[in-house]
Structure 1
Amino acid sequence: MLTDLVRAAAQSPEPRADQSSPKLWRPRRVLVTPAALEWEHGRAILERAAALGSEIVELKSNRLTGLSGKNSRQTYVNAKTTLAVVVAPPSKRRLQPIPPSADWRVDLAEGCPAHCHYCYLAGSLAGPPVTRVYANLPEILDSLADYVGRGAVTSRSIDRAHEGTTFEASCYTDPLGIEHLTGSLAETIAHFGSWQAPVQLRFTTKYDAVQPLLNLSHQRHTRIRFSVNAQPVARFEGGTAPVAARLRALRQVALAGYPVGLTIAPIMPVEGWREAYSALLQEAAQQVAGIPNLDLTVELITHRFTPGSKSVLTGWYPGSNLDMDEATRARKTTKFNTVKYVYTPSVMKEMRVFFEEAVSKHLPAARILYWT
């Protein structure tokens, strides 16, 4: 079966790309488990990967192997250049709440091909940072109906009740960054578009390859948000689309009728931060100008880290000058009795006042959903 897939992909023409085309991630190799091969969706992922020139490796069992290197750095490189096609177990299909973003977290994949020095997945996911994509997408989508009306974020919010029950698809991955390989995002958007219920799919991305999504029958049941940042911070986002390209993509999907959003994260009070973030908001305002029926939200998320994530990130990016000095932060204990470091109350207040005023000035039609 696998040999036939690779042979068919090898006979397909190379995908064309010009200078204006989004840069697409090409994994060096793709690991596939026996269980994933049983799903048509999983086999379709392999065909796309083989057409891009990725090495296809069929595993003997449903356990991922072959990621360890001679040292931690080599293990990181092996994992970040690998795509794993697996089956999401029942435990992964039991949805968890994800405040303040949405009622429920729905995972189409786990892991991300980007190289962000502040990566929120560091310390959250176990093992090497391989990107796992789920072959059993039909099972995942079929399970969602049980959660309608049962959330505690938008389902019970006076201000956000019009969004219906919300499902966040970018908690543990960037689904657009791997969509050219998976096709999972398009299928999920189509599923929500045909769903006759008060529901909304949400995802945020640092990529710009939105063309496959523009002609889908989304029925405004999907909000596409773009994670953006001021230039002094965006330099920590390796392997992603430039911020200007993300904002152009935001305009494209808004013109296609999607509700859209800006996820400004992680906000950092770097030198000249007021001017830098003002410039970002002005650029965003230019891209949304003149869009009919614009539905725009803004989410404001400040930088934070845990002792565990700092340890992982300094191992992944030893030369980074990302500021993670505990001495300049406030120490907080979460409801799970873990520790995280955030900005001090005075800095948080100063930044929040600035952003609330700046968003109101430059993007008066936008709704700020939350500050955290």
Structure 2
Amino acid sequence: MTSSLATPAAASDLVQPTRLWTPKHVVVTASAAEQPHTAEILRRCEAAGVDDVTMLSGDRITGLRGGSDREVYARAKSTLAVVVAPPSARKPQPIPPSADWRIDLAKGCPAHCQYCYLAGSLSGPPITRVYANLDEVLAPIATHVGRGTVTSGTAERAHEGTTFEMSCYTDPLGIERVTGSLAAAIARVGAGEFGDDASIRFTTKFDDVTELATLDHGGRTRVRFSVNAADVAHRFEGGTARMPARLAALRTLARAGYPVGVTIAPIMPIPGWREQYGQLLADLADAVADVPDLDLTAEIITHRFTPASKDVLLGWYPATKLEMDEDARSAKRSKFGGVKYVYPKDVMAEMRSWFTAELDRTVPSAQLLYWT
């Protein structure tokens, strides 16, 4: 893996974040209270103005249920729980096609995306749990370097080193203001603590990158911004930074020497989708036009849902206009018997052909990693 030194961003390049999540309630389990990183989390919560912090006498989190689905949802979404990741949550799992392995800093997200990827995959109310035992969470990075098959095991992406995805079950930037876990991970990986070939990556819909732009990342963290057509983002991505702010944040980090990327997801064939996604790509091209030594990737993901996620999402967002019509989709079954609903083959083929050509035409510097 080739590493470059971080280039601190100039003050003029730093963008003021448009949205900062502040939990209304913070609960700290007894086991988490004993962890060194908890002090940093509590310091950040205090600085953010959180005044409702409960130190639990045990490790069980209660009081989230009661009332309607919407009431439970609202209560959970406004709560941050500081917990200890159990051994099962610290075992890296393969995560193709994104990265070699998955490392979780937290589980749960403060955003209100009506197509939420976590719906149906996490049990119980959608509370955000941040892991206080950060040393144990990050430790497997060192033991799994060189053991991957997505990047470290391929000629096409071997230059990325062994990659560890940190946004499978959370948006780590969305909670960074009150956790500090992401900055710690970036700095430690950037310093080579886990080996020269270790590389972390995450996707975000937020734009609070002021602290990240000052870190010595060593070129070992790729930050990807989740972007979408204007109508999709406006209608379905509540509580997130708007699209211009995300692209401005991408520009800031690219100028600070970070490898960056866009995750265009979830793509939807809405009315006028070519025009809207075409404008998105044009805006991306403008954002990175004069960035020196740009390292830009693209990942393109179409919308899909499962029966379980649909039920959860309709409970959270009963008035949603999100299209989840099984009759208008194709059923795709996994080897374990699960089913997810994707767009029909002709729609998928049309979108793939257009996106591949338009990305190459509009942003030729972007390396398309995969389409799914």
90 and 366 in structure 1: CA distance in 2 versus 1, 3 angstrom threshold: same
1:24 aligns with 2:20: yes
Q: Please tell me the residue identity of whatever aligns with 1:160.
A: R
TM-superposed deviation, 1:21:
4.0
Q: Please tell me the residue identity of whatever aligns with 1:70.
A: G
- Taking the aligned partners of 2:299 and 2:347, their CA distance within structure 1 comes to 18
Counterpart selection for 1:87 from 79, 84, 102: 84
Structure 1 stretch displaced more, 320-329 or 189-198? 189-198
- The corresponding residue for 2:181 is 184
Contact 2:142–2:198 (CA under 8 A) maintained in structure 1: no
Q: Please tell me the residue identity of whatever aligns with 1:224.
A: V
- The corresponding residue for 1:356 is 356
Contact 2:16–2:210 (CA under 8 A) maintained in structure 1: no
| TM-score normalized with structure 1 length | 0.93
Alignment of 1:46-85 (within 5 A): 46-54=42-50, 55-85=52-82
> Between Structure 1 and Structure 2, how many residues are aligned?
354
Q: CA RMSD in A?
A: 1.1
- The corresponding residue for 1:168 is 165
Alignment of 1:1-372 (within 5 A): 20-54=16-50, 55-195=52-192, 196-235=195-234, 236-372=236-372
What's the secondary structure of 1:133's corresponding residue? strand
- Taking the aligned partners of 1:225 and 1:144, their CA distance within structure 2 comes to 20
TM-superposed deviation, 1:337:
1.5
Output one character per residue of 1:125-149: Cα deviation in whole Å (capped at 9) or x when no partner. 0110000001110111222211111
Q: Which has the higher contact order (CA 8 A, sep 6+)?
A: 2
TM-superposed deviation, 1:74:
1.2
- Taking the aligned partners of 1:361 and 1:144, their CA distance within structure 2 comes to 37
Output one character per residue of 1:255-295: Cα deviation in whole Å (capped at 9) or x when no partner. 00000000000000000000000000000000001111000
Contact 2:16–2:208 (CA under 8 A) maintained in structure 1: no
- Taking the aligned partners of 1:362 and 1:222, their CA distance within structure 2 comes to 25
- Taking the aligned partners of 2:38 and 2:302, their CA distance within structure 1 comes to 37
TM-superposed deviation, 1:59:
1.5
What's the secondary structure of 1:214's corresponding residue? helix
Provide the identity percentage: 60
151 and 20 in structure 1: CA distance in 2 versus 1, 3 angstrom threshold: closer
TM-superposed deviation, 1:22:
3.0
Q: Please tell me the residue identity of whatever aligns with 1:201.
A: I
190 and 247 in structure 1: CA distance in 2 versus 1, 3 angstrom threshold: same
Q: Please tell me the residue identity of whatever aligns with 2:143.
A: D
| TM-score normalized with structure 2 length | 0.93
- The corresponding residue for 1:15 is none
- The corresponding residue for 2:7 is none
What's the secondary structure of 2:217's corresponding residue? coil
- Taking the aligned partners of 1:82 and 1:261, their CA distance within structure 2 comes to 30
What's the secondary structure of 1:223's corresponding residue? strand
Structure 1 stretch displaced more, 197-206 or 104-113? 197-206
- Taking the aligned partners of 1:253 and 1:125, their CA distance within structure 2 comes to 31
- Taking the aligned partners of 1:20 and 1:291, their CA distance within structure 2 comes to 20
- Taking the aligned partners of 1:128 and 1:52, their CA distance within structure 2 comes to 24
Contact 1:50–1:56 (CA under 8 A) maintained in structure 2: no
- Taking the aligned partners of 2:55 and 2:71, their CA distance within structure 1 comes to 22
- Taking the aligned partners of 2:202 and 2:48, their CA distance within structure 1 comes to 25
What's the secondary structure of 1:175's corresponding residue? coil
Output one character per residue of 1:27-76: Cα deviation in whole Å (capped at 9) or x when no partner. 11001101111012112212221332321011121111111122222111
What's the secondary structure of 2:80's corresponding residue? strand
- Taking the aligned partners of 2:171 and 2:320, their CA distance within structure 1 comes to 22
Output one character per residue of 1:61-109: Cα deviation in whole Å (capped at 9) or x when no partner. 1111111122222111110010000010111110101110000000000
TM-superposed deviation, 1:20:
4.5
- Taking the aligned partners of 1:42 and 1:20, their CA distance within structure 2 comes to 27
- Taking the aligned partners of 2:253 and 2:20, their CA distance within structure 1 comes to 18
- Taking the aligned partners of 1:171 and 1:253, their CA distance within structure 2 comes to 21
Structure 1 residue runs of 5 or longer lacking an equivalent are 1-18
